[in-house]
Amino acid sequence: MRRLELTCACFLSRLFFSWVNPLLKLGSLKPIRFRNIPCVVSEDEANIAYQNFARAWDSLMKEKSSHSDTYKCNMVIKAITKVQLKENILIGFYAFLCTISVVVSPLILYVFVRYSSRDKEENSLSQDFNIGGCLVVTKLVKSLSQRHWFFGSRRSGMRMRSALAAVYKKQLKLSSSGRRRHSTGEIVNYIGVDAYKMGEFLLWLHSIRSLSLQLVLSIGVLIPVIGTGALPGLVPLIICAQEGLRTALYWMSPTVIFSVVFLGCLLLGSAPLQAGTIFMVLATLQVIVDPVRTIPEALSALIQFKVSLDQINAFLLDEEIEGDRIKMSFTSPSCDRMVSVNGSIAYVSQDSWIQILFGKPMDEERFEKAIKSCALDKDINSFDHGDLAEIGQGGINMSGGQKPRIQLA
């Protein structure tokens, strides 16, 4: 399977995302199969992400053991920050560029409308090109920076989610007292829900920072142009932010804020309602409304992420089995969801583990022999995707007889 074109893409290809065009073109011609999907680049591989996180975690644990009184914060956050800080500084820069271009756009529109309303004799061709060029550049910067911001956040979040495979490793070393504190259902929840949420964490983190800056700068741009007439518009703005999704005013916020601002300008006489002013105010208020609607949702998401991080952190910091006792746990009949082999005798848990290779390299001959010995060849041939069939949510359901035969294989 070939590597993703991102590995050999030039600067312009990375800038405009043209490296993905071959895959999109193939998808427009025929349905994309699994074999058509290229491999991810090496730095995005789950194993690399886990190893980087594991090294950072081990380093922090050594520091914690020597400075136990000074390490009270969430160790998962510290490890993730240690691994992914540099790439997220770049993502933050993309978000900053996007915010600046969004806030500047109403000002350029204001200049453009005022320039267009002047007499033609006062205008010059160079000014026409300058204003038009600024509009085009601003929109281009906004589009590209936003795409790189979203792509980088998703990519970094994917690495974070892969790094939290540490939960799997921890489960194998968890002490008996730790197993009593963390039930099987809770551990599955750490893997299936909490670790998955981490993939969205960075996108929301950069969003709330960017949207807060966008809100402050937009208000700062509005007040110098229309003066004190902008102040009455802050009242419904604050109400909308506090009420969130619970009131109809939240969804009517653009219309309400527009009306209050223009009414304030008329009553206070702070700014003449000319075409340039009206267009600029409308554009700026539209920029303000987006953060007002999104910031409450982002704060709610960050609170959920904090809870998930605390749960994963508590699990990873729980007691472990000592090194010389790990082998004993595999041969103990009290172990759960494990296959233990000792000579010609094996213990197989009644709760089946749907896995055959267990991370080992694929040996076609040995694999086929195991499949036939466990009478799974007919079952696998009946699956749409053979031995690559997805099991569980979004895939097929296994019968009570198929599960133990897969575990036996």
Torsion sign across C-alpha atoms 198, 204, 206, 209: negative
- Structural domains in the chain, CATH included, are 5-39 (no CATH), 48-224+271-316 (1.20.1560.10), 352-408 (no CATH)
In order, the DSSP letters of 116-159 are: HTS-GGG--HHHHHHHHHHHHHHHHHHHHHHHHHHHHHHHHHHH
Q: Would you say how long the chain is, in residues?
A: 409
Residues 159/49, Cβ–Cβ less than 8 Å: yes
For residue 335, the model assigns a pLDDT of: 45
Helix, coil or strand: residue 320: strand
Residue type, 136: V
For residue 219, the model assigns a pLDDT of: 85
Q: Phi first, then psi: give them for residue 229, nearest 5 degrees.
A: -65, -20
SS3 content of the chain, % helix, strand, coil (to 5): 75, 5, 20
For residue 246, the model assigns a pLDDT of: 47
pLDDT in tens, 285-331: 888 878 877 888 888 888 999 999 999 999 999 888 765 554 544 44
Q: Phi first, then psi: give them for residue 399, nearest 5 degrees.
A: -80, 170
What is the C-alpha to C-alpha distance for residues 91 and 210, in angstroms, rounded to an integer? 11
Single out the residue of 94, 87, 81 nearest to residue 209, CA to CA: 94
* Rounded mean pLDDT for each run of 10 residues along the chain, 409 residues in total: 71 89 88 83 88 92 72 83 93 95 90 78 77 91 95 92 85 83 85 84 91 90 81 71 52 68 78 78 83 83 90 90 55 46 56 67 83 82 76 69 74
Torsion sign across C-alpha atoms 45, 47, 53, 59: negative
Phi and psi based region of residue 394 (left: phi greater than 0; alpha: psi -120 to 50; beta: remaining) = left
Query: What are the residues facing 320 on neighbouring strands?
Result: 174
| CA atoms within 13 A of residue 1's CA, in its CB half-sphere | 10
**Helices 275-316 and 166-173, axial angle in degrees (round to 10):** 20
Single out the residue of 236, 283, 280 nearest to residue 256, CA to CA: 236
For residue 241, give both structure tokens. Answer: 């932010």
What is the C-alpha to C-alpha distance for residues 316 and 165, in angstroms, rounded to an integer? 11
For residue 332, the model assigns a pLDDT of: 43
Burial grade of 386 (CB within 10 A; 0-12, 13-18, 19 or more): exposed
Burial grade of 237 (CB within 10 A; 0-12, 13-18, 19 or more): buried
Place of tokens 């011609």: 29
In order, the DSSP letters of 169-180 are: HHHHHB-HHHHH
**Helices 253-268 and 275-316, axial angle in degrees (round to 10):** 130
